[in-house]
Amino acid sequence: MQTTTVLQFRAYKCGLLIMLTTFTAFLFSCSGTAQDDVQLDGRAFTVLTIPNGNPAEAAMESITFKEGRFDNDNCHLWGFGDAPYKASREGNSIVFTATTTSPKEGSMMWKGTIIDETLHGTMTWSKEGQADLNYTFSNGQIELADLNGKSFDVQFTDADTTTTETITFTDGYFESPGCYAWGFSRAPYDAYILDGVTHFQSLYTSEQEGKMFFYGVIQSGMLSGTQFWTKEGQADIYYQMRGEER
């Protein structure tokens, strides 16, 4: 009779241990499994997007989440718009994906991870007839630069012509006077330091003539970069910029 009681007690302990182990595993599984349908609406990040192996063409961009859609403002230049996003929680981080498209320029597949206020991720740009282009993006440790008061004598060169003008940075604005004849006017600039090199960018807009995007690097008083002019009904025009500080 006593032996039976001991065996029953041992079986009870074993069953209780199995139940506790199973419940603990269930809790661990729930905490480690992605939880879908996380909302990021209302959040915005300023990031540096860097082509793999080519930091000279890094760009400062704004990523926003609104009404269930992901958007990158800088990609509008190439005809990309916003797109639905999917987000899930994985531990203490949120992982999201989105694919933006352009009628002419293909698709961009974005995947990012958000931890508190920190964002980092990757983007792949795919286009028919073009090898995939891979980028990283992050909002961490962006060191801003001040170019106010600086001016440069710059040559703008495309396939056919070369022109020279003086560009200036004044009170937070970038000025390229040679563009004013086409209805463009000065615009704010962004500038930051990456790997010890100063980068800048500025976007001009004109109701009739489209958009001009300037991006370049400044190192040891020398400036180099690209001016990109896009206009509906017109083939995109690229100018190389080369100059030195005055």
93-96: long-range pairs with CB below 8 Å, 24+: 94/38, 94/40, 95/34, 96/38, 96/40, 96/70
Q: How far apart are the first and last CA of the chain?
A: 103
pLDDT tens digit sequence for 151-166: 999 999 998 899 999 9
Residue 28: predicted pLDDT? 39
Q: What is Dmax (Cα atoms) for the chain?
A: 106
Which alpha helices (DSSP H) does the chain contain, by range? Answer: 2-32
Rounded to 5°, angle at Cα 162 from 161 and 168: 140
Residue 42: predicted pLDDT? 97
What does the block give as tokens for 162? 């070369």
90 forms bridges with which residues in the sheet? 93
Residue 25: predicted pLDDT? 41
Residue 139: predicted pLDDT? 95
User: What is the C-alpha to C-alpha distance for residues 91 and 170, in angstroms, rounded to an integer?
Assistant: 46
What does the block give as tokens for 6? 């001991």
pLDDT tens digit sequence for 162-215: 999 999 999 999 999 999 999 999 999 999 999 999 999 999 999 999 999 999
Predicted structure pTM score: 0.80
201-208: long-range pairs with CB below 8 Å, 24+: 201/59, 201/60, 202/174, 203/77, 204/176, 204/179, 206/182, 207/183, 208/183
Specify the range with the lowest mean pLDDT, choosing from 9-18, 97-106, 130-139, 233-242: 9-18
- pLDDT level of residue 36 (50, 70, 90 thresholds): low
Which DSSP symbol is given to 160?
S
- pLDDT level of residue 57 (50, 70, 90 thresholds): confident
Coil, helix or strand at residue 15? helix
Residue 196: predicted pLDDT? 92
User: What is the C-alpha to C-alpha distance for residues 5 and 35, in angstroms, rounded to an integer?
Assistant: 46
Burial class (CB within 10 angstroms; exposed 0-12, middle 13-18, buried 19+) of 137 = buried
Which DSSP symbol is given to 33?
S
- pLDDT level of residue 64 (50, 70, 90 thresholds): very high
